[in-house]
C-alpha cells in the first residue's frame, strides 16, 4: 500500500500505540461513493469517519472477508491509525457466484454490459451483493462484519446514481428499481455495505463505552 506524503506526515503526528477508541476512524478507499455511503450510515451513530486514499495491493483471495481483513491490518500497521477497509462483490446464482471476489476485475474488463450478455438466455437472474467491513486499530484485534442484499440482475442498464454494478442490480426491497435509480439514502436502507457498517457501528459503540 502506498500512502501519500501528507498522510505520512499526519501519521507521524498522530502515531500513538494506544490510540483510544472514539476518535476519528479512517475509511481506506479510493471510491468516493463508498465513502459517502459509509459516512451517512456512521453519522447516524455519531461516528466520525474520514476518507483515507491509498493504493491498495490487489490481494487475490476467493473470500472477501480475507481481502478486507488483510487490507485493514496492512493499512493500520502503516499508518498507526484505526482504519476500516471494505471489500464487496456481486455474486450471481446462475454463474455459480461469479464474479464474487473478482468483481472489480470483471467490472473493469467486461463491465455491466458484459454481465448482461453472460446472462442472456438465463431465466434465473437472482444475485446478491456481499460486503465485508474490516476494522483494525493499533494494538487491537481485527474485527470483520458482513452484510448481504438479495435481488436480481435487471434486463437493461438503468439509473445514474451510485457506481459499479448499481444500474443492473434490483434489490428485493425496491422491486423494479435498480440501485442506480435509488437515492443514496434509499440504497443505504437495504444495501450490503450499510448492513455490514451498521453491525460494525453497534460493536464499535459497545467497545467505546
Residues labelled catalytic: 87
Given 89, 100, 137, 151, the residue binding ligand IMP (CB under 6 A): 89
Shorter beta-carbon distance to ligand IMP: residue 133 or 201: 133
Taking CB atoms, the residue at the shortest distance from ligand IMP is 164
194 binding ligand IMP? (CB under 6 A): no
Record the cell numbers describing residue 188, joined without a space.
443505504
Give the nearest distance from C-beta 166 to ligand IMP in angstroms.
4
Give the nearest distance from C-beta 11 to ligand IMP in angstroms.
23
128 binding ligand IMP? (CB under 6 A): no
88 binding ligand IMP? (CB under 6 A): yes
87 binding ligand IMP? (CB under 6 A): yes
All residues at 6 or more sequence positions from 125 whose CB lies less than 8 Å from its CB, including other chains: 94, 119, 152, 153, 154, 155
What b-and-e string marks burial along 150-166, b requiring 16 or more CB atoms within 10 Å of the CB? ebbbbeebbbebbebbb
Please list the helix, strand and coil fractions of the chain in percent, rounded to the nearest 5, in that order.
40, 20, 35
Shorter beta-carbon distance to ligand IMP: residue 19 or 163: 163
Shorter beta-carbon distance to ligand IMP: residue 28 or 90: 90
Shorter beta-carbon distance to ligand IMP: residue 21 or 148: 148
163 binding ligand IMP? (CB under 6 A): yes
All residues at 6 or more sequence positions from 169 whose CB lies less than 8 Å from its CB, including other chains: 90, 127, 129, 151, 152, 153, 154, 178, 179, 180
Q: Where along the sequence are the contacts to ligand IMP (CB under 6 A)?
A: 31, 87-90, 103-104, 107, 129, 162-166, 179, 191, 193
Amino acid at each position: 500500500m502506498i500512502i501519500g506524503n501528507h498522510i505520512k506526515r499526519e501519521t507521524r503526528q498522530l502515531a500513538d500505540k494506544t490510540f483510544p477508541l472514539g476518535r476519528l476512524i479512517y475509511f481506506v478507499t479510493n471510491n468516493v461513493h463508498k465513502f459517502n455511503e459509509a459516512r451517512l450510515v456512521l453519522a447516524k451513530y455519531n461516528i466520525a469517519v474520514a476518507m483515507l486514499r491509498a493504493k491498495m495491493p490487489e490481494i487475490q483471495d476467493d473470500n472477501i472477508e480475507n481481502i478486507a481483513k488483510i487490507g485493514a491490518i496492512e493499512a493500520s500497521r502503516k499508518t498507526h491509525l484505526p482504519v476500516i477497509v471494505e471489500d464487496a462483490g456481486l455474486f450471481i446464482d446462475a454463474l455459480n457466484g461469479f464474479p464474487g471476489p473478482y468483481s472489480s476485475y470483471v467490472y473493469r474488463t467486461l463491465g455491466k454490459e458484459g454481465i448482461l450478455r453472460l446472462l442472456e438466455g438465463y431465466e434465473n437472474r437472482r444475485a446478491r451483493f456481499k460486503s465485508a467491513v474490516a476494522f483494525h486499530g493499533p494494538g487491537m484485534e481485527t474485527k470483520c462484519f458482513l452484510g448481504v442484499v438479495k435481488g436480481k440482475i435487471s434486463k437493461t442498464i438503468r439509473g445514474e446514481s451510485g457506481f459499479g454494478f448499481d444500474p443492473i442490480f434490483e434489490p428485493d426491497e425496491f422491486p423494479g428499481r435498480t440501485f442506480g435509480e435509488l437515492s443514496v439514502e434509499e440504497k443505504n436502507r437495504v444495501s450490503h455495505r450499510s448492513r455490514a457498517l451498521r453491525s460494525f457501528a453497534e460493536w464499535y459503540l459497545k467497545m467505546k463505552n
